[in-house]
Structure 1
Amino acid sequence: TLYQRGRLSPVLTPLSRPIRQVLRHEEFEEGCKATCNGPYDGKWSKTMVGYGPEDNHFVAELTYNYGVGEYRLGNDFLGLTLVSSQAVSNAKKMGWPLKEVTAGVFEAEAPGGYKFYLEDKEELRQDPVLKVTLGVSDLQKSVNYWSDLLGMKIYEKDEEKQRALLGYADNQCKLELKTVGGAVDHGTAFGRIAFSCAKEELLDIEALMKKENQKILTPLVSLDTPGKATVQVIILADPDGHEICFVGDEAFRDLSKVDPNGDRLLDDAMAADGSDKWFAAQKMKKASA
């Protein structure tokens, strides 16, 4: 899940050495009723990582299902683009494979096959995450959905390259839509894009989608996080089935506070996870999603 805040702090600071950090880590004993961890019923965890607090940074949510050993990637999520010469330098120092796709832009592949694009330059950005790219089957149809229905501003549209760039604010991470030349395949590793907005807007979003006969995957529902705030969410699907979550900002602001123990909680959870040893002892493989 990729979270984008609905509003940002105006303060910009030089990011000569951006550090991706664990913002919080949470464990759950059973599957989410809004399928936050995918269509799985077992124990799972989520780890929020970003370059700064969720109030004013784009954040990636990494979900781990304890009983699942592998996922099949589709062509729905095409990559995350970062503006960071430090990231390029780090990759080179670590011997991480990089492929220069255009001048100064390198492609890297994260574990699991997820694509990252690293722009080798510095910029006075509050957040190095420039854009997230999703595959679509019909560019105009998708642009209409995200702009006319969801209210995003169109920043760029290139018919020749079959791509468009949209967003809610000039200083926020952008959403890039790119035609894949056929149907969008979500594989089994798909996630969702999430935005926070005022709680009262959730009912308006739900009413609009019903009026326009658009798909609502999860009607407005309250989700609990153990020991933390209960948040309200509604989950939609665009014309290609990309999942879109809108979450009530007031409760989410409380839920999404940076946890100084996030790193330790993640380390403890990984140390306590004996599933690999158990499956090996049983001479079994974890299930494929």
Structure 2
Amino acid sequence: MAEAVSVTPELLEWPKKDRRRFLHAVYRVGDLDRTIKFYTECFGMKLLRKRDIPEEKYSNAFLGFGPEESNFVVELTYNYGVTSYDIGTGFGHFAISTQDVYKLVEDIRAKGGSITREPGPVKGGTSVIAFVKDPDGYVFELIQRGPSPEPLCQVMLRVGDLDRSIKFYEKALGMRLLRKIDNPQYKYTLAMMGYADEYETTVLELTYNYGVTEYTKGNAYAQVAISTDDVYKSAEVVNLVTQELGGKITRQPGPIPGINTKITSFLDPDGWKTVLVDNEDFLKELEK
């Protein structure tokens, strides 16, 4: 047993040394062309690629504010014949940073978009935000900020135990806790988790609502994908951390048949799914 003791601390250091970044968020939509039109016209995203897999009866579209080699993107999935999904109570929102929230909201309204919170400062703060809904009912927070290399800046998920989640993402995925905000007046606490400063990159915003320990997942939002240099080593770490904090590996590390990209996937203690994707394989896939 002596050997296991010496391996474990070194193994747990791996996620901090690994080259990791958020690659994409995967979710399901009822009409691919409708969503592409909304994201390109209202948000100013670019359609990066589209693929149809008739034998599996689904199509994908990848959209974002920059190339997939460097930017976080959304991967939309359309399953043939399925026009609507249940978003559930656990998924929160995506966020987009912009230099002028008021102007962006005007543009979205002019194109028939649904504004669910008018632009203005957050309660008790100075940040200017607004909320809008896309045609499938996904919520997007618009945040006023200076220029950013990554405007697609947040994925917000609700969790049942914030400290457990912070520990999980630090240990299993090597993320840093960038900031934690407790708002007793509105009965929630949130944690920003990521690999770099939140003004430069995409972060995971985990929200705990006082007293709420469970949420429904629905069948709309699927997962986030994160890069790694070694899916096998990364899966070993996740396996260790799930034994301590909960969650489970849902796909053992290895290549996807037909594509040969190596991945592993797992659920966090709340059941939110993450896929780890081999860095080099991912870039090769983009070249095809």
Measured after TM superposition, the shift of residue 88 of structure 1 is 2.6
What is the aligned partner in structure 1 of residue 194 from structure 2? Answer: 167
Q: 1:251 to 1:131 in 2, by over 3 A?
A: same
Name the amino acid aligned to 1:165. M
What is the aligned partner in structure 1 of residue 29 from structure 2? Answer: none
Alignment of 1:164-203 (within 5 A): 164-170=191-197, 171-180=200-209, 181-198=212-229, 201-203=230-232
Does the Cα contact within 8 Å between 1:19 and 1:51 map onto a contact in 2?
A: yes
Gaps of 5+ in 2: 1-20, 25-41, 122-127
* 1:187-217 deviations in Å (ceiling 9; x for gaps): 121310111121xx21111112333425101
User: In 1, Cα distance between the equivalents of 2:167 and 2:280?
Assistant: 29
- Aligned residue for 2:235, secondary structure, equals helix
User: In 2, Cα distance between the equivalents of 1:56 and 1:148?
Assistant: 24
Match for 1:83 among 87, 90, 97? 97
* 1:175-196 deviations in Å (ceiling 9; x for gaps): 1000142312111213101111
* 1:88-141 deviations in Å (ceiling 9; x for gaps): 34213324232227523111011111000112x352211212211011111111
Q: Deviation above 4 Å: which 4+ runs of structure 1?
A: none
Does the Cα contact within 8 Å between 2:105 and 2:119 map onto a contact in 1?
A: no
> Which structure: greater helix fraction?
2
The structure, 1 or 2, with the larger RCO (C-alpha pairs under 8 Å, 6+ apart) is 1
Q: Percent identity, aligned pairs only?
A: 27
1:64 and 2:65 matched: no
Measured after TM superposition, the shift of residue 147 of structure 1 is 1.1
Does the Cα contact within 8 Å between 1:76 and 1:190 map onto a contact in 2?
A: no
Indicate the larger mover: 97-106 or 156-165: 97-106
What is the aligned partner in structure 2 of residue 23 from structure 1? Answer: 48
- RMSD (Å), alpha carbons: 2.3
Q: How many residues align?
A: 229
What is the aligned partner in structure 2 of residue 239 from structure 1? Answer: 269
User: In 1, Cα distance between the equivalents of 2:46 and 2:146?
Assistant: 19
User: In 1, Cα distance between the equivalents of 2:89 and 2:95?
Assistant: 16
1:218 and 2:251 matched: yes
TM-score by length of 2: 0.73
TM-score by length of 1: 0.73
User: In 2, Cα distance between the equivalents of 1:18 and 1:110?
Assistant: 10
